[in-house]
Amino acid sequence: MEKIQVVTKGVLNCVSNAEIEALRPEGVSALSKLVDGTGAGNDFLGWVKLPTETPAALLNDINATAAQLRELCDVVVAIGIGGSYLGAKAVIEALGNSFAAYKNDGIKVLFAGQNIGEDYTAELQEYLADKKFGIIVISKSGTTTEPAIAFRILKEQLEKQVGHEEAKRRIVAITDEKRGALRSLANTEGYKTFVIADNVGGRFSVLSPVGLLPIAVAGYDIKELMKGAADMQKATLDGQCDAALTYALTRNALYRAGKKIEILVNYNPKLHFFAEWWKQLYGESEGKENKGIFPAAVDNTTDLHSMGQWIQEGERSIFETVISVAKSDRELRIPFDEANLDGLNYIAGKRIDEVNKMAELGTRIAHIDGGVPNLLIELPALSEYYLGSLIYFFEAACGISGYILDVNPFNQPGVEAYKRNMFALLEKPGYEKETEAIRAKLS
Ligand code: PA5
């Protein structure tokens, strides 16, 4: 079986191997903190062994629930935000047909509650008006405003379309075992539920029912996804594979050398949302105490025609991490054209992927020459197995990296600030003092 590889040669224009290696003791100690639970935020380490410790019975239950939703519905709306949204979206987009976004016997999975866009929600309602739809509502806390609004609206619509009893069969809730408004509602209504374990934080929850149920509904093999993750887990934790450690060491060496922004680069548009998931994982885990690499992302070659100029010649505060997918699934060759008016006959007969790979290599060389250190992550294929491995790789590296940075990678105190102000402005009961304070600020 081929493996995910991390290639660091392209960063040596900025940091030396010795500088990267100097961080190894900190990295090794960070990894052991993840394993033995002695670091900050150690009550949120449930994700570390999730791939190997998830019972087969739970995966079977998720698959059976997905099959039932597929039988009852043509479309399922997964409602959630942040960690309760991005993992499923990332995997479904990465594995899906670009124009159908689902395959096998899966059905369309749409997303809601990841924004408060009135037009988005109204258009979704309109789209669902003549569809057989179901809902997976996901919220660990069970109290997050965005998904709560979307669920209230879509639940009402579903009940109107199919009646209260049938709606109950088509709604699945994923939330805390005991606490929160969603748990109370699910218990009252008798919805099928799955639990998000207390010790698994939102952005580390894709390999729990949070990500697995929508992914299974869309028709993908969650057992293969978990197998890929489990193999990466075992290899990372027992030291056989140091890919996650190497990535964590290298990005921290670059950060200490003044590279404050990491751009995750893909050359496969299906990875757009994988980068969104990665941005949340690293942004929420590391951006605290006025520290942390800013995680950004580009989709190439699309963004070479927009951000490419900045990356090539802008401020030298960035480094790139390229996810390079070795093979594409399909084979499509550029046709020969007698008239050759577009001048493309020099690449006639070549696969599109060959051209893409040359664009990737050419860009990497140009960026390295332009002073942008370049880390390379080689992914053998876009499959359930390798996506599972890649997810675990990034999660483990994130935990290690956060500890090297000396922050608690598993909390997110900063996300409360906007909520407090929003509640104050909306005059939520219990926020009277905040309402007064924010009005004074605005006057
Ligand atoms: O990573 C996190 O913890 C957050 O991004 C949450 O996932 C997000 O805020 C959604 O929270 P909840 O699942 O409680 O609705």
Q: Judge contact between 65 and 133, C-beta under 8 A.
A: no
Tell me, in angstroms, the distance from the centre of ligand 1 to residue 344's CA. Answer: 49
Residues of the chain with pLDDT under 70: 101-105
- Provide the phi-psi class of 209: left if phi over 0, else alpha when psi is between -120 and 50, else beta: alpha
The pLDDT of residue 144 is 95
Encode pLDDT of 37-58 as tens digits.
Answer: 999 999 999 999 999 999 999 9
Q: What is the DSSP letter of 239?
A: T
Closest to 125 in 3D by CA, of 145, 96, 93, 150: 150
Buried b (16+ CB within 10 A) or exposed e, 66-90: bebbbebbebbbbbbbbbbbbbbbb
CA 203 to ligand 1: nearest atom: 1
Structure token pair of residue 129: 């008006």
Neighbouring C-beta atoms of residue 395, cutoff 10 Å: 27
**Ligand 1 close to Cβ of residue 202 (< 6 A):** yes
Cα gap 278→256, rounded to integer Å: 21
- Provide the phi-psi class of 7: left if phi over 0, else alpha when psi is between -120 and 50, else beta: beta
Tell me, in angstroms, the distance from the centre of ligand 1 to residue 182's CA. Answer: 14
**Ligand 1 close to Cβ of residue 398 (< 6 A):** no
CA 201 to ligand 1: nearest atom: 3
Neighbouring C-beta atoms of residue 439, cutoff 10 Å: 11
The pLDDT of residue 102 is 56
**Ligand 1 close to Cβ of residue 183 (< 6 A):** no
Residues labelled catalytic = 284, 305, 419
CA-nearest residue for atom 9, ligand 1, is 82
**Beta-ladder partners of 299:** 266
Tell me, in angstroms, the distance from the centre of ligand 1 to residue 326's CA. Answer: 33
**Ligand 1 close to Cβ of residue 285 (< 6 A):** no
Tell me, in angstroms, the distance from the centre of ligand 1 to residue 140's CA. Answer: 7
Instruction: Determine the residue type at 191.
Output: Y
The pLDDT of residue 104 is 60
**Ligand 1 close to Cβ of residue 141 (< 6 A):** yes
Substitution candidate for ligand 1 out of 47, 84, 137, 394 with most atoms within 8 A of CB: 84
Query: What's the number of CA atoms in the CB half-sphere (13 Å) around residue 47?
Result: 31
